[in-house]
Amino acid sequence: MIAQLTGIVQKIRLDSAILTVHGVGYLVYATPATLATLREGQDATLWTSLVVREDSMTLFGFTDFDERDVFETVQTVSGVGPRLALAMLAIHPAQALRTAVVHADIKALTKVPGIGPKVAQRIVLELSNRMTPPQSETTQTPTTPTEHDASEQVIDALMSLGWNTKQAENAVDQVRADTGQPIITPAQVPATLRAALKILGGPRA
């Protein structure tokens, strides 16, 4: 496993860079934001993830460890390969992507080319309990009854999956009644979405 490379940037391309380490040139694919930090002829260090296939070995590079961690985590979802994972980080920085998953922000996830509502929902359901929110969110004070109600996020997510407004609202109201919670906090969005889908009979085909 090649976890990190430090060397001289020989060439920068639209979607990748060539990094020379001890006389060996490594082709590393990266997001536009990462490539923008590199300068040809100068030293650079990239955290890397090596993706091995039957007919290829491909390196992907990142400016920090958290980006690489998110890149590898999202690939555990069925239908998300390394190219799509990199596209996700090209649209959303690692912290923003964590937030989108934790808060079940289907609209944000579907901004990534190649991710439709079904894949976005799968990402949320499979990763919401594995992706921790950004540090700034985890250190916030406990929620209070006056906190913003995030039920609209759940309703929007259900509507993007094919349910109409009334169906989505009724499902969310039912979850509220079942749990006895007057509001839905941002941290409760993933669990509320899962509960609402169970009430509605699962995602539409």
The 3-class SS string of 1-30 reads: CCCEEEEEEEEECCCEEEEEECCEEEEEEC
Question: What pLDDT score was predicted for residue 130?
Answer: 85
Coil/strand/helix, residue 201: coil
Architecture of domain 65-140: Orthogonal Bundle (1.10)
The fold for domain 143-205 equals Helicase, Ruva Protein; domain 3 (1.10.8)
Coil/strand/helix, residue 105: coil
Q: What class, spelled out in words, does domain 4-63 have in CATH?
A: mainly beta
Please work out, in degrees rounded to the nearest 5, the angle formed at the alpha carbon of residue 37 by the alpha carbons of 25 and 40: 45
- The pLDDT averaged over each successive group of 10 residues in the chain (205 residues) is 92 93 96 90 96 92 94 94 94 91 91 92 90 56 52 78 85 86 75 82 58
Contact 192, 184 (CB under 8 A): yes
- The reply to whether domains 4-63 and 143-205 share a CATH topology is no
Question: What pLDDT score was predicted for residue 84?
Answer: 95
DSSP per-residue letters across 146-188: TSPP-HHHHHHHHHHTT--HHHHHHHHHHHHHHHT-SS--GGG
Question: What pLDDT score was predicted for residue 28?
Answer: 97
Question: What pLDDT score was predicted for residue 151?
Answer: 82
Distance CA 190, CA 51 (A): 30
Question: What pLDDT score was predicted for residue 182?
Answer: 77
> Where are the chain's structural domains?
4-63, 65-140, 143-205
Question: What pLDDT score was predicted for residue 133?
Answer: 60
Question: What pLDDT score was predicted for residue 138?
Answer: 46
Contact 4, 63 (CB under 8 A): no
Question: What pLDDT score was predicted for residue 141?
Answer: 44
Among 53, 43, 48, 64, smallest CA distance to 16 is for: 48
Residue ranges of alpha helices (H) inside 11-129 are 32-35, 65-74, 82-91, 94-102, 106-109, 117-127
Question: What pLDDT score was predicted for residue 75?
Answer: 95
